[in-house]
Amino acid sequence: MRFQLKCRVRSARRAVALVILLACATGCTRGELEHKADAYNQAIAESNNRQILLNAVRASQRAPMSFVGFGDVAATPTFSGTAGGTFNFDVLGLTTYNVNPAVNVNGGFTSFTMNNLNYAAFAQELQRPLAPGIVEYFDQLKFPKELVKLIFVQEYTLAVQKRQRIAAEAAARCRAKANQRDTDICDAVERDRERFESAGCREFPETHATMTLLNVGRDLCAMVTFQTFVRQLRLLEIELPFKPRTTQAILYYLGDLIAAQNYSTHPFIPEVLVEKDNRRLTVPLFEVRRAVPAPVGAVVAVSYSGENFFIPTPAFGSTEEARSLQVLDLVSQVITAATSKDALPKTSTVTLVQAR
């Protein structure tokens, strides 16, 4: 009787072991799927950042842009398990047994699609002017106000007398410097004025009743002129109508910022006024450098025409934190919002590429 009890206990243990083995295999399948899903998510995000940076680099060299869309992933997770065995009994109970569990697991992704977006419908979506309300939308998301203006506003057109009145009122406000906010903004305007004069920039007299302030990032003189006006509006808490950029023009503007740092007659790093710890200070707007090869610590890096371009890892949390990644985030959201689903090619025209 004792022998029979031992046999039953041992049989039960092996049955439990089999269940645990099957459960473990199921957990491994889920873990593999989750791991690959995370890896795919990360790869798409990194590829998207590189595509934006690469097109901005092309724009900085006045070269044509090119786009691809990252499509669907096909997954075939399968799992099966069997527990065949031989059991021999006599009058006293189980005498011999042979259990042969078999487990088959396949939890990988088998293919993905990559769409060529270089055709008319997609280009037309990129060339549509953005809705003016998009500035308000990103302001509500707490993006830096000046960053949003620099990225989205293509130009202001206003009467020359109104422009002169804004400049006079801002100058009076800066002489008073009634609070820390006014002091910070006015100090930034003053530093820009010093850079403007040291670069040999000049203001040309307006001969018409209206004037246009273009938002150009390639040239220090033009960029300082526009930023000064934006900061004067902010100082006086004035909002004016503006002409918004197209999504394509935003990428060209990023190219201007890259050119300012690498190809300008007077190279400079474009800066933006941000708020931090109840102060307003200037930090790099979109920092892109050249190096051969790109350093290991680069957060985004691309290669074009035999040169390496990279975005240095920002000093997160510091008072000098560059906003390069925030710019990429903003531009990525705008591209996604601007391009409708109908502007994408049909995946049936794309060959599936086997993924490992």
Pick 99 or 125 by higher pLDDT.
125
Q: Which residues of 317-339 are buried (b: 16+ CB within 10 A; e: fewer)?
A: eeeebbbbbbbbebbeebbeebb
pLDDT grade for 90, boundaries at 50, 70 and 90: low
Residue 82: predicted pLDDT: 59
pLDDT grade for 345, boundaries at 50, 70 and 90: very low
Residue 48: predicted pLDDT: 84
User: How far apart (Å, rounded) are the C-alpha atoms in residues 48 and 136?
Assistant: 25
Residue 225: predicted pLDDT: 94
Residue 127: predicted pLDDT: 85
User: How far apart (Å, rounded) are the C-alpha atoms in residues 353 and 110?
Assistant: 9
pLDDT higher than 80, residue 242: yes
The alpha carbon dihedral of 273, 275, 276, 278 has a sign of positive
Backbone φ, ψ for residue 102 (5° rounding) = -135, 130
Measure Cα distances from 184 to 169, 205, 272, 279 in Å.
17, 29, 13, 7
The alpha carbon dihedral of 172, 175, 178, 180 has a sign of positive
pLDDT grade for 239, boundaries at 50, 70 and 90: very high
pLDDT higher than 90, residue 165: yes
* Whole-number average pLDDT of the chain: 79
Question: What value does the mean pLDDT take over residues 273-280?
Answer: 89
For residue 20 the two structure tokens come to 């645990």
What is the identity of the amino acid at 310? F
Measure Cα distances from 262 to 112, 269, 287, 300 in Å.
37, 9, 10, 17
The top-scoring range by mean pLDDT among 291-295, 311-315, 349-353 is 311-315
User: How far apart (Å, rounded) are the C-alpha atoms in residues 221 and 196?
Assistant: 6
For residue 314 the two structure tokens come to 């920002």
Question: What value does the mean pLDDT take over residues 52-65?
Answer: 91
pLDDT in tens, 166-185: 999 999 999 999 999 999 99
User: How far apart (Å, rounded) are the C-alpha atoms in residues 274 and 46?
Assistant: 26
Torsion from C-alpha of 230, 311, 129, 153, nearest 10 degrees:
0
pLDDT higher than 60, residue 292: yes
For residue 196 the two structure tokens come to 């403007």
For residue 45 the two structure tokens come to 């995000």
What is the identity of the amino acid at 102? A
pLDDT in tens, 8-48: 545 555 554 555 555 555 555 555 556 666 766 777 778 88
Question: What value does the mean pLDDT take over residues 255-281?
Answer: 90
Can you tell me which residue has the tokens 């989750």? Answer: 34
Can you tell me which residue has the tokens 């290669």? Answer: 303
Residue 317: predicted pLDDT: 86
Q: What is the DSSP letter of 297?
A: T
pLDDT grade for 83, boundaries at 50, 70 and 90: low
pTM of the model: 0.75
Question: What value does the mean pLDDT take over residues 103-125?
Answer: 62
Residue 213: predicted pLDDT: 95
What count of other Cβ atoms lies within 10 Å of the Cβ of residue 134? Answer: 19
pLDDT higher than 70, residue 85: no
